[in-house]
Amino acid sequence: MTFSDLKLIEPLTNALAKKGYQTPTPIQQKAIPHILDGKDLFGCAQTGTGKTAAFALPILQLLYERRSISGNQIRALILAPTRELAIQIGENFSAYGANLNLRHTVVFGGVSQVPQAQAMRKGVDILIATPGRLLDLMSQGIIRINQIELFVLDEADRMLDMGFIHDIKKILSKLPAQKQTLLFSATLPDEIKSLADGLLQQPVRVSVTPVSSAAEAVKQSVYYVNRENKRPLLHHVIVENHIDHALVFTRTKRGADRIAKDLNKRGIKAESIHGDKSQGARERALKGFKERSIRILVATDIASRGIDVDKLSHVINYEIPELAETYVHRIGRTGRAGESGTAISFCTSEEQPYMRDIIKLINKNIETIKSHPFNN
């Protein structure tokens, strides 16, 4: 199947071809036709399944085809839980909508609202927003959402985890009754089901990649090592395997800083990204990583949310996460959208129980690499 088979218009298929995308992922194949038909949709999908394109492409097409009837109002609203994810979604709209004359902007907290307010006053068709900043700008009369034609609630389960449910309810109360609504969530707790029941009208339900099988496309291996040898092992693995682009996960912010500093000392360009860094520093590090001027990005799990990098070859678990599901989310950053990927884990004797939980969850043996200088 090709994107043309999904009845996407030529300006979109040309933009996708320029990005090197030829075959739609399962979530795109399932969701795009229903969204183009104007139906509400409840999508259960992990990050890395091509979910953003599954809603961005049909939204762009629907707005483009209806462009003659629009005024200077926001016509589509995408709500995302984090600044990083909102920025990522904005970048996708830029890439896919490059051949369409549709305006979009991204608003999020932690930075000055002035440029965001200026962009809104010029008029936008598509608004991507985090809940807090959206409510701020609405309360000042800078944003009105009463003319929305399409509404997307992305990563609804994470919204819930982050305590945004009251903000979301406030936003929902200001939306028009007549609209097309799309809700995406990686998991389906009861609160999400009840939110969906109140929000969606006769929705189509689509589901792909349960958490336990998310790692199928990723080649996985584990190195057993003493804690004090992890840093030299990381350098050895990067050099020995000629890894030129990798996301390294650590449990703590200080650990992320120390690892990045050590790699830089050893001549490998690295940056850390975590919650204590300013928004500007995080964006610069992420931009450098995407553009490959930074070879290794060292991240904590919270800061990694929303990191979506095309053709990322390697994920390295410098420390094994305590929750097996976190491991699956981490390694899902590689092997995305049909590409192959490699996940490498460093495991101490104390971390072995976590490794056993991971193997049980993914129901798959992970290859042990014994031939390395730090084998304990």
% of the chain with per-residue pLDDT over 90: 64
Please state which of the ranges 28-37, 199-208, 211-220, 267-276 shows the lowest mean pLDDT: 211-220
- pLDDT in the model for residue 19: 86
pLDDT greater than 90 at residue 297: yes
Query: At residue 294, does pLDDT exceed 80?
Result: yes
**For the structural domain made of 212-368, what CATH number should be given?**
3.40.50.300
Q: Which residue matches tokens 């929305």?
A: 148
Query: 285-304 burial, b for 16+ CB within 10 Å, e for fewer?
Result: bbeebbeeebbbbbbbeebb
Phi, psi of 222 (to 5 degrees): -135, 140
Where in the chain are all domains bearing CATH 3.40.50.300? 4-209, 212-368
Q: Name the least confident of 61-65, 93-97, 336-340.
A: 336-340
Lowest mean pLDDT among 105-109, 262-266, 286-290: 286-290
**What's residue 65's pLDDT?**
92
Whole-number mean pLDDT of the chain? 89
Residue 247, classed as helix, strand or coil, is strand
Q: What is the mean pLDDT of residues 329-348?
A: 84
Q: Which residue has the higher pLDDT, 275 or 86?
A: 86
What class, spelled out in words, does domain 4-209 have in CATH? alpha beta
pLDDT band at 16 (very low <50, low <70, confident <90, very high): very high
Question: 352 or 278: whose pLDDT is higher?
Answer: 352
Q: How confident is the model at residue 110 (pLDDT cuts 50, 70, 90)?
A: confident
pLDDT of the residue at 42: 95
User: What pLDDT score does 74 carry?
Assistant: 95
CB count within 10 Å of CB 315 equals 24
Would you put residue 10 in left (φ > 0), alpha (ψ -120 to 50) or beta? alpha
Q: What percent of the chain has pLDDT over 70?
A: 94
For residue 342, what are its two tokens? 């490699």
Question: Does the structure show a pLDDT above 80 at 188?
Answer: no
Q: Do residues 315 and 331 make contact, with C-beta atoms less than 8 angstroms apart?
A: yes
Whether residue 337 has pLDDT greater than 70: no
**Distance between CA 267 and CA 101 in Å, rounded?**
45
Q: What is the pLDDT of residues 192-242, one digit of tens each?
A: 888 999 999 999 999 875 555 556 678 999 999 999 999 999 999 999 999
List CB contacts of 247: < 8 A, sequence separation 6 or more: 289, 296, 297, 299, 304, 307, 309, 312, 314, 315, 316, 333, 334
How confident is residue 326, by pLDDT bands cut at 50, 70 and 90?
confident
Q: DSSP letters of 112-152?
A: -SHHHHHHHHH--SEEEE-HHHHHHHHHTTS---TT-SEEE
Query: What's the whole-model pTM score?
Result: 0.66
* pLDDT band for position 141 (cuts 50, 70, 90): very high
User: With bands split at pLDDT 50, 70 and 90, how would you rate the model's confidence at 104?
Assistant: very high
**pLDDT class of 322 with cuts at 50, 70, 90:** confident
Q: Are 24 and 32 in contact (CB under 8 A)?
A: yes
* Residue pointed to by tokens 């120390």: 258
